[in-house]
Amino acid sequence: MEAKRDKGGGPERRPHVVILGAGFGGLNAAISLRRAPVDITVVDRRNYHLFQPLLYQVATAGLSPAQIAMPIRRILSQQSNATVLMDRVESVDTAARCVVTGARRIAYDYLIVATGARHTYFGNDAWAEHAPGLKTIADATAIRARILSAFERAEVSDDAGFRKRLLTFVVVGGGPTGVELAGAIAELARNTVVRDFRRIDSSTARVVLVEAGAHILPTMPPCLSKKAQRQLERLGVEVVCGNAVDACDDSGVRLTDGTQIGSACVLWAAGVMASRAAKWIGAPADRVGRVIVDARLNPPGHGEIFVVGDTALVSDGGGGPVPGVAPAAKQMGRYAAQAILDDMAGRQSAPFRYRDYGNLATIGRKAAVADFGRARLSGYPAWLVWNFAHLWFLVGFRNRLVVFLDWAVAYFRNDRAARLITGQHEV
């Protein structure tokens, strides 16, 4: 792609790369272009990069928000060719090659769309009020307040039936987020806060994990799914498979087989919906809104646009889609950056190839499962791998150090220090 000359007929200006979203994909694309002869504008509606794999630990009082997030400006502060804008994208004018936000129009030569995904209720959006999902720091702190408030309200209640509902926690969705949430809530009730209350026994709390499919962790081999279920059950979690949620309100949930589970704390981890990027760029999308891209991550007819991460539907080379996980988004972000450099140099990029580094899920203290293809781990070895992998991928040395120290204290003392109730759940 040939860069345009400025209005004064001077030397060619540098190509402008606009990146929408500063998640794993967008941030890795920006960093990969740090020495490139381009100008970069990163647009995100928040001012921080979030390490989503540890968001459930904020929701269950294991970590504080600042430990898994870092300001985007700080990450890119030493990158002189990058500008950060905190703004919300409204549309993309592909004909004029311009991004339209609430405050401005941003012209681009290349566009990288990395706007991620949000949770979905499969057409039952009214359930969101009763069963919050987990995608942002605001979600995590609200869920933390909801969980801790359930124990506090049970402590002051004299109604045995209401206490039982308060001490029943339902997690909908048996993927990694649901499994990790359920295990963490069970450990919180049985090990962490059990000594804090006088009128209730928090260890009697009921934690139910509901999965519509035949087994939890469906992307893992069946043998590891079964091991994960046994580890959850040892923690006291009730695992219900092959049964979907049919109704959800303030009293709890009703399953498709008619089972009623009374609960004052229902949490949603059952599905995701991509951002509105497909509508912005006028591209075809799958049923969950992911942009259907070719092997070079381009939507049809737009070689200057790259769609990466959870926003993109791309083949993994084996007939299935690339999974919506952090390593995949990082690989796509780096690929998009290299493809831009190749295009500037007049070269044709090789097709994107996803490298699968494995699949991890933690169940609780010293319990996890890990799938590395030929090598499959469970229990304590998998838990160690999970810990070191997540520490490695955290952004910033300080965050790694603080999280490591918090985990060490939690391991030896069974303690979760961030047990704060804030916001609307305050009495």
The CATH number that applies at residue 218 is 3.50.50.100
Residues 52 and 36 in one domain: yes
Instruction: Please tell me the predicted confidence (pLDDT) of residue 11.
Output: 59
Residues 147 and 175 in one domain: yes
Per the structure, the count of domains in the chain is 2
Please check whether residue 361 lies inside any domain of the structure: no
pTM, rounded to two decimals: 0.90
Segments of 196-251 assigned E as strands? 206-211, 237-241, 245-249
Residues 251 and 139 in one domain: yes
Residues 146 and 244 in one domain: yes
Please check whether residue 399 lies inside any domain of the structure: no
Indicate which CATH number applies to the domain containing 24.
3.50.50.60
Range of the domain at 236: 126-270
Beta bridge partners of 111: 18, 305
Segment 48-80, tens digit of pLDDT: 999 999 999 999 998 999 899 999 999 999 999
Please check whether residue 6 lies inside any domain of the structure: no
Among 410, 218, 399, residue whose Cα is nearest residue 323 = 218
- Domain boundary, last residue among 329, 345, 361: 345
- Other beta carbons less than 10 A from residue 105's beta carbon: 11
- Domain boundary, last residue among 304, 330, 345: 345
Residues 21 and 109 in one domain: yes
Q: Are 186 and 367 in contact (CB under 8 A)?
A: no
Instruction: Please tell me the predicted confidence (pLDDT) of residue 4.
Output: 47
Among 398, 370, 406, 402, residue whose Cα is nearest residue 386 = 370
Please check whether residue 364 lies inside any domain of the structure: no
Q: Which of 152, 180, 187, 211 is catalytic?
A: 180
Residues 138 and 266 in one domain: yes
Intra-chain end-to-end CA distance of the chain, in Å? 60
Residues 205 and 314 in one domain: no
Residues 144 and 239 in one domain: yes
Please check whether residue 359 lies inside any domain of the structure: no
Sequence-ordered list of residues with C-beta below 8 angstroms from that of 331, at least 6 positions apart, any chain: 352, 354, 355
Residues 264 and 132 in one domain: yes
Please check whether residue 98 lies inside any domain of the structure: yes
b/e string for 180-219 if b means 16 or more Cβ within 10 A? bbbbbbbbbbbbbbbeeeeebebeebbbbbbbbeebbbee
Instruction: Please tell me the predicted confidence (pLDDT) of residue 105.
Output: 96
How does pLDDT run along the chain (427 residues), one tens digit per residue?
Answer: 444 445 455 557 899 999 999 999 999 999 999 999 999 999 999 999 999 999 999 999 989 998 999 999 999 999 999 999 999 999 999 999 999 998 899 999 999 999 999 888 988 999 999 999 999 999 999 999 999 999 999 999 999 999 999 999 999 999 999 999 999 999 999 998 998 999 999 999 999 999 999 999 998 999 999 999 999 999 999 999 999 999 999 999 999 999 999 999 999 999 889 999 999 999 999 999 999 999 999 999 999 999 999 999 998 877 789 988 899 999 999 999 999 999 999 999 999 999 988 899 999 888 999 998 889 999 999 999 999 888 887 877 678 888 888 888 777 777 776 788 877 665 5
Q: Residue 94 carries which side chain, given as an amino acid letter?
A: T
- Domain boundary, last residue among 270, 299, 319: 270
Cα 398 to its chain centre, rounded Å, is 21
- Distances in Å between the Cα of 247 and the Cα atoms of 7, 164, 168, 250, 252 are 61, 20, 17, 10, 8
Residues 332 and 201 in one domain: no
Please check whether residue 314 lies inside any domain of the structure: yes
Instruction: Please tell me the predicted confidence (pLDDT) of residue 222.
Output: 93
Please check whether residue 172 lies inside any domain of the structure: yes
Instruction: Please tell me the predicted confidence (pLDDT) of residue 1.
Output: 46
- Is-catalytic flag, 180? yes
Distance CA 242, CA 231 (A): 19
Instruction: Please tell me the predicted confidence (pLDDT) of residue 417.
Output: 67
Q: How many CA atoms lie within 13 A of 268 on its CB side?
A: 26
Distance CA 359, CA 322 (A): 13
Q: Tokens 């402008």 identify what position?
A: 16
Residues 213 and 341 in one domain: no
Residues 172 and 38 in one domain: no
